[in-house]
Amino acid sequence: MNAVERLGLCALHRMDPERAHGLSLRALRAGLVPLAGVVSGPRLAVDLAGLRLPNPVGLAAGYDKNAVALAALTRAGFGFVEVGAATPRPQPGNPRPRLFRLTEDRAVINRFGFNNEGAAAIGARLAAHPRGTVPVGLNLGANKDSADRAGDFAAVLASCGPHVDFATVNVSSPNTERLRDLQGRAALAALLARVMEVRAGLARRVPVFLKIAPDLTGDEIAEIAEVALDAGVDAIIATNTTLSREGLKSASRDQAGGLSGAPLFEKSTRVLAQLSAATGGRLPLVGVGGIGSAADAYAKIRAGASAVQLYSALVYQGLSLAADVGRGLDAALARDGFDSVAQAVGSGRGDWL
């Protein structure tokens, strides 16, 4: 982290978290944030469900909900970027305050509730963004008041699918009431069937990912893996935020919403390893949750992830973390004699089972 970034973070941390979030996006759009450029190298290149990634370090959905800063984010060191979640109709989300820093715990709690400008506005920005070496995906969501949430996911894919490199079915946010019920076998199979039907009608094949929660039993993980494989899902993202509050110290620890950041690392990595065992290498996995260093990212890869995503750690370590993690991963792979990320995937899974 350079001096400019350190000063910027200090200023942002003196503000309300949601206002700081918005200002950081405006600073990116205005060109005020130093950007690392694309981090790449022969060891870092990854094939993720047919997507060629320059490196396996992605940006998780939720930061750039409305796809307003794509030009900058695809030059910030990430190997892929996910925006959204997008819902068919615009919605304001839950009442403020709804974002809380847990500085002592290096964590964040949010209860945004899929606030976004809607699929039409987001799709227009995605259409205007030229496709390049850093793939861009969209997180699909459902409107809070929808009577047909499965239909919402399908509708967003139909609208925005032509303009993205991948799409993620997000049934794991804890901030839309009863959304996680869609992770059950019958509901999930029906939802994915509708999404895949829409995908089949697009002019080009768009990989479809599924994002799951960390608060699942072993049996539920195995069931989701089976449904995903049967449906033809291209990858699974593990995991979203947690409802657990175990071991937290910060004053905001009892706020309602999903917890992300460092305390999620072990829980999400165990789910990832279980999912890796359940899928047996038949489906690529993306590891998310608590990554704050190259060592954390490498642990996710060794637990079974083909790629990883960052978000909450950027609040505390800045955008330069993306490039730092990519370069650190390259060094770790070289140290351990791996010629590629693919060779390291799952090499340490037993440590988490």
Does 211 appear as a known binding residue? yes
Does 65 appear as a known binding residue? yes
Does 344 appear as a known binding residue? no
Does 63 appear as a known binding residue? yes
Does 241 appear as a known binding residue? yes
Annotation says 250 is catalytic: no
Does 62 appear as a known binding residue? yes
Does 316 appear as a known binding residue? no
Burial class, 307, CB count within 10 angstroms (exposed 0-12 / middle 13-18 / buried 19+): buried
Does 298 appear as a known binding residue? no
Does 94 appear as a known binding residue? no
Does 2 appear as a known binding residue? no
Q: Write out the two tokens for 282.
A: 């038949």
Does 123 appear as a known binding residue? no
Longest dimension (CA), the chain: 53
Does 300 appear as a known binding residue? no
Identified catalytic residue from 24, 146, 173, 260: 173
Straight-line distance from the first to the last Cα atom of the chain, in angstroms, rounded to the nearest whole number: 35
Does 114 appear as a known binding residue? yes
Does 303 appear as a known binding residue? no
Does 239 appear as a known binding residue? yes
Active site residues: 173
Residues annotated in the binding site, as ranges? Answer: 61-65, 85, 110-114, 139, 170, 175, 211, 239-241, 261, 290, 311-312
Residues annotated in the binding site for substrate, as ranges? Answer: 65, 110-114, 170, 175, 240-241
Residues annotated in the binding site for FMN, as ranges? Answer: 61-65, 85, 139, 170, 211, 239, 261, 290, 311-312
